[in-house]
Structures are given as structure tokens and as C-alpha cells.
Chain A
Amino acid sequence: MLELVQASTYAADIDRLILFIGVIVGVWFLLAEGIFFWLIWKFRAKPGERTQYLDGTEKNVKKWITIPHALVLVCDVFILVGAVSVWYDVKQQLPDADSTIRVIGQQWAWTFQHPGADNELDTSDDIFTVNDLHVEVEKTYHFQLESRDVLHSFSVPVFRLKQDAIPGRSITGWFTPTRTGEHDVQCSEICGIGHGVMAARIHIEDANTHAAWITRSSAATTP
């Protein structure tokens, strides 16, 4: 199996949900396939043997359908609770932010607007980068996702985060990186012939490195 690190606070929640669903449907799947193949073997044609005449309405046989049927519904409820609670955490609620960044998709690159030294977006010391996003570990970020032309999708697999960018709208979301490192940022909504090269990197840095990057970048952009 391919390993993918968990680098946000909710990455583990999403992985746990996937595992939880995997166990439930895995059991159902193995059971169904097991019974299925067993029946094929057990009731293979044998000379001279007559088949049973059942039409599925007899109570004593119908229960073999109705009981699993009810159990499916029960399992659905468990999955539903798990899915909605994770969804609520990631997408519906918005924890207070330490910092806000802007992510802008366009054919075929990502532009990242960092707040700079004053930690305020849309001020003169904002740092603009193309295809390189710099964030500090253990800080909660809000992102404002925008698009200049067509649909894009801001996807950071190590965060387990994905959100489409829509021209004409600004969509706010959040993440909190939990470990330092450098990872892929993808565009996961087809956006034209350059969709396959619309790759960016996210640099998750500790406080010192991040501060040094801000100083260095501010110096570079100041005339």
C-alpha cells in the first residue's frame, strides 16, 4: 500500500472514517461474496436432482432477505454519523485563525498571497508567490479560495483537504498543519490542457524558518 503522511489536524479523522467504513463494508462484502460462491458450489447441477420451488414470499425464507436488509440500514446510520461529524469539523465549522492566506487558481498555476510580517492580508507587505505556499506548523490558517478563469480544485493530499475554486466567488476554508515538510498541492478539477502541470508545493515550516522566509521574501519584494 502507498503511504501518505498525515499533516493536518483532521487528516487522521478522515483516515479513521475511511477505515471505519472500510471495516463495515468489508465485512458485508466478504459475507455476500462468500455466500454467493458457496451457493454456486452447493447448488451446482447434479443429474436427476430437482430444484426447489420457492418464490420468495414464504415467511421462513424471506427472513434471509429482510434481516440483512434491516442490518444494512443500521450500518448506514453508523456511517452517516461518522461521515457527518467529520464533514462538520472540516467544512462546516471554522475555528479562529492565526493567519489568513489567499489562494488563487488560474490557467495553469497557483498564486498564493501570504499576509507578510504584519499578519494582515491585503496590506502593502503581502508576499505573493507562484506555485509555492509557505505556512507555519501548528498555526491555524484560513484560506480564501478564488479563481480567475475556470474551475480549479485546491487539493492537498497530506492534509486530506480538497475544495473547488469558482470564478466570481471567494470560498473560505481552514487547515492546521501538524508536521513540517514539503508536499504536493494539486489541481484536481480539469481546467484545460495545462491541468496536468498545475502542480504546486506546500512548505510547512517551523516558526524560525517561517519567520526567516518572511524576512527574506519581504526584503526581496521591497524596492
Chain B
Amino acid sequence: MAETLAEVQKQEVHGHDHDHHDQGFVSKYIFSTDHKIIAMQYLFTGMLMGVIGGYMAYVFRMQLAFPGISVPGFGQVSPGEYNSLITNHGSIMIFWVAMPVLIAAFGNYLIPLMIGADDMVFPRINRLSFQVFFISSVVLLLSLFVEGGGFGGAWTSYPPLSASGDYNLTQLGASLWLIAVALEFVAFLLGGINFITTLMNSRAPGMKAYDIPMVCWMIVIASILFMLSVGPLLAGAVMLLFDQTLNTGFYDPARGGDPILWQHLFWFFGHPEVYVVLLPAIGITVDVMATFSRKKLFGYKLVLYTAVATGVLSFFVWAHHQFIAGIDPRMANVFTVTTLLISVPIAEMLFVMIATLYGGSITLTTPMLWALAFLAEFLIGGVTGIFLGASGADIYFHDTYFVLAHFHYTFFPIAIIGTFCAFTYWFPKMFGKMMNETLGKIHFWGTIIPFNFIFIPLFVLGMGGQHRRIYNFEHFPEIAGPEYFQLRQIATIALLIMLAFQVVFFFNVVMSWWKGEKAGKNPWKANTLEWTTESPPPHGNWPVEELPTVYRGPYEYGHPDREEDYWPQNLPG
């Protein structure tokens, strides 16, 4: 089957190639159907949104540490603006940074290259996906500047607050926010279809299911989870939009609706969503760890099966977000069981990653540092989750900064560390140049150390009873003491330091792109197929007659039958 499809594909590539000579700038970079260009579009849009999300964090952290201060670059923060900042920070970082960068950008870039295909199976759908995503970003950013300001009902958007302009005072901002989120989901459904179909149908001859690099598997499993979970939320979003604009009463108890319904629809999507972004980050880090420890992945099938198990379980844990929301208290017991169970496959996955290091030969390059940091930091996020999954402890911790610190210890490793790991690892392939290692390491330490100084104080504050989404803690005498404010200030100053170090990263990218050392085809001596073509790869990825054939799995490092310590997938013999 795979052979015949590849044959067909090769013929198509011929026709395809002839159409695409001498593209102008606009058709090459703006309306391109090339998966690599679309990946770049996603990557740079996502990074730009990340800068905006980081700026928002800077503004509200300044307000929290120094209440009433005129924040440089923003001014005084009003309660309404504060709510809008935290809402949009959360929405942006999850929907406009983590998803476009980890899934769309790296999925688009890596899947065809790593499975030896010339492009996605639906290049035009792929282009449409980015265009819809781009519109969604514009709508979201515009919503910040309409009358009343941007939506301020938290990224979870619980009705009745989100359902009526009388309550949230941001009628238009709330509707635009909702439309932006819905459009973003449409973009990722389109992209997801493409990833799944491409992985199933366009693999190089000889590439069997267990020869697929883990990062491709993870992105595709994530896309499947996303497709299965997003439907109820899209339906819920339409109902919420009707409540906002047509004055219906789906979530209004006075008219027979129920506000808790939204919470179920939201978290039925929202919890699998965590794994939608986690799995690609795990895929990236295991690939990088295998390369730089020169080790075969410890239990390829184990990682794959635990990913699937996690994915399946993630559909049965959503109500742990609602323990104290007024659901039947007996139901909390069921969801405590499922939530604690999900720690089993996740722990297994992390054990496998640790075990992969055993017997290896570890080089601490910048991408490897990011990969190892992912594991070290994500462990903190993982173990603190147990407190919140245990219903009895969650009574106290729910909606405190403990929760906030916990999920930043999961999302930061996923979205930020995962992105830097992938970016620094595949940069030579994407741009044909090596990144500067010294600057890379300065940036690494300048990010990781302050990161811990931001969120460890927030764990302590959460344990001390500090609750979330409060613009000025001076109104609560018990948590307004100097020792509380010191911790808040430590977190804010650490954030400033971390943000300052990002300048090093952007400088490094520009300088390396411009003047960096040429990378060659395979600078890391890695096995997977993307390293068998030019850096950067040409349109169509390989010359048609050189499309690769696969002879073995992706992690054959240190094989006893071979002199070199790596064995590329495409070499016969």
C-alpha cells in the first residue's frame, strides 16, 4: 500500500514542480501552499503572540507586586484592564502560542520531512488553516481595543459573567473573544485533518508504524484528541454567543438554562487540551534526548501506548476542575479516581525518558539542555497536580495561586521550553545555519533560573491562601502583609529578568541566521529523514528521484553492528 501511494505521489510531484517555478514574493511567502512556509508563518505569528502575552504578564505582575504603580509602557492598571489582561494572557498563551507553535508550526514543518513526503496531502487546506488562524489572531487583538475594552471574564469564560454585557461590562470584547477562539478551533481542525491524513498515507516506502519518529506520532495523537474533544466546546461557544448577542438563555437559570453546563462543555475540551499540547512537547524532547544521548529510545512502544492511554483517560477527568463548582459531591469521588489514574501513564512516560539516558553518551548542547530542563521542570508540575486531583485537598487549593503555579509548571515546560528545544534543534534545518551555542546557553540559564523564582513563590502564596484573579491584594487583610508582598515582588522581579534574557534569544536568531556557520545536511548526526536533505530543504523537500526509502526505526544509535554510532533511517543494509 505504502509503495503504490508513494509511486502516485512521485508522479504528482513531477506535475506539481512544473507549476511552481519562479514564484513571486507574495505567492511564495504569503499565499504559499508549501508546508515549510506555512510552518514558518505559524511559528512567527505564534512567537509574536507570545511576545504580546509576555508583555501582558509583565503589566499585571507589576500591578500585583506594586499595587497602584504606573507601569512603564502601560500606565495605571484599572480593575477592568487587569481582568482583561489576565484573560487575554491565558487565552493567547494557550490558543495562540502553545497550539500554533507546537502543533501547527512543528507539525507542519516536521511531519512531511520526517516521513519522507514532499508536502502535506492537502496543501490548500493547510494554507486555509493558517489564513483562518491569522484572522482569529487579528480578531483577538482587535477585541482589546473596542469600546469597553477586551474581554475580562477569565480564559475559562464562565457564564453568567461571560454571557451578558450587564455583568462583564465588555459586551463587544466578550463576543469578539469568543469568535476569535472559535475561529482558532476551526483553523486547528483543518490543520489536524491534514496531519492525521498525511501521517497515515504519505509515509516513505518501508516506513512502518513503529518506524515513525515519536514527535510525528505525538502531534498526530494530539490532533486526534483535539478533534474528538473540541466539538462539544464549539457547540457550547455558539450557545454562549447566542446568549450574548441574541439574548437566548442557554446558561441563564432564570430562563431554564444552567451555567454549569458550560463548565462541563468547556472542561470536556479543556482537559484533553492539556494533553494536546503536552504530547507534542514530549515527542520533541524524546527525539532530542535520543539524539544527544546517542541512545535508542527506551521502549518506543511503551511511550506510544502510554501516550494513547493518557489520551483516552484524559476524556474522563474533566470534572476535577469542578469539584467545588456545585456538582453532586458524590461525583467528585469518581473523578478523583480517574484523575489519580492518569498519573500512572504520565509517570511511566517520564520514567522512560529518564531511562533513555542510562548507558548513553550525553552532550549538553543547547537543545539538549532544553530537553532535560523540560523533564526536570515538568516533574514539579506533575507532582503538584496530585494535590489538586485529590478532591479533599482541592477544597482548599482550588482557585488559589497553588493551582496557578502548578499549571504554569506544566504549561511553561510545554509551551516555552518545548518550543525553544524544538527551535534550537531544528534551526539548522530550517535556516541552514548553526545557532551560536554560547548565546544559546546564556539564554537557557537566563530563562530557566528566573522561571523557578517566579513560580515557587507563587506556590507558597497559594498555600498561604492567596486566591486568583485579584487585581489588588491590599483589600484582603490576611494576605496583605509584608511577607506576602515580598514574595509577590520576588516573582515579579524574576519575571523582569526572564523577559530581559529573551532579547539574547532574538539577537541569537538574527545573528545566526545572518552570519551563522553553515549547517550542512546533518549537523547533529541524527537518524531521521529530515536530516537527509539539504538545509533548508528545497520546495518538494527532496529531488523527486531521491525521495527516501526507509529501512529501520528512527532511534538506531550505538548499534553494535555498525561502526558509526548512528544509522540513518534511509541507508540500505
Contacts and interface: CB of A to CB of B under 8 A. Distances in A.
Interface of A: 1-2, 4, 13-14, 17-18, 21-22, 24-26, 28-29, 32-33, 35-37, 39-40, 43-46, 49-57, 61-62, 64-65, 68-69, 72-73, 76, 79-80, 82-87, 90-92, 107, 149-151, 153, 155, 157-158, 160-169, 171, 183-184, 186-197, 199, 201
Contacts of B260: 166
Given A43-B293, A43-B359, A62-B299, A84 B167 contact: no
B174 to A, nearest CB: 12
Contact of A14 (B380, B392, B400, B565): B392
B362 A25 contact: no
Given A1-B460, A150-B160, A195-B469, A65 B357 contact: no
A194 B79 contact: yes
7 contacts: A1-B460, A4-B478, A18-B387, A32-B354, A36-B354, A52-B358, A187-B467
Nearest to B477: A184
Contacts of A90: 392, 395
A199 to B, nearest CB: 5
Given A45-B363, A52-B358, A184-B477, 5 more contacts: A21-B393, A69-B351, A87-B329, A150-B167, A167-B259
Contacts of A22: 387
Contact of B467 (A14, A25, A155): A155
Given A53-B296, A166-B260, A192-B168, A65 B464 contact: no
Given A40-B372, A54-B358, A193-B80, A83 B393 contact: yes
B465 A39 contact: no
Contacts of B359: 43, 51-52, 54
A79 B390 contact: yes
B527 interface: no
Interface of B: 78-80, 82-83, 152-154, 158-161, 167-169, 253-254, 258-260, 293-302, 324-326, 329-330, 332-333, 336-337, 340-341, 343-344, 347-348, 350-352, 354-355, 357-364, 372, 375-376, 379-380, 383-384, 386-387, 390-393, 395-400, 460-461, 463-465, 467-472, 475-479, 483-484, 557-560, 565
List the 10 shortest-distance A-B pairs measured between CB atoms, nearest first.
A168-B253, A86-B392, A56-B299, A2-B464, A52-B359, A157-B465, A83-B390, A51-B558, A56-B298, A25-B383
A199 B469 CA distance: 13
A68 B299 contact: no
Contacts of A191: 161
B562 to A, nearest CB: 10
Nearest to A151: B158
Choose among B158, B363, B476, B557 the residue with the greatest number of A CB atoms under 10 Å from its CB. B476
A34 to B, nearest CB: 10
A56 B297 contact: yes
B299 A151 contact: no
Contact of B375 (A14, A36, A55): A36
Contact of B395 (A37, A87, A194): A87
A120 to B, nearest CB: 26
Contacts of A1: 460, 463-464
B468 A188 contact: yes
Contact of A153 (B372, B384, B399, B484): B399
A40 B340 contact: no
Choose among B169, B324, B469 the residue with the greatest number of A CB atoms under 10 Å from its CB. B324
Choose among B154, B379, B399 the residue with the greatest number of A CB atoms under 10 Å from its CB. B399
A21 B390 contact: yes
B336 A51 contact: no
A65 B348 contact: yes
Contacts of A188: 398-400, 467-468
A210 to B, nearest CB: 21
Nearest to A171: B326
B390 A184 contact: no
A46 B359 CA distance: 12
Contacts of B468: 188, 190
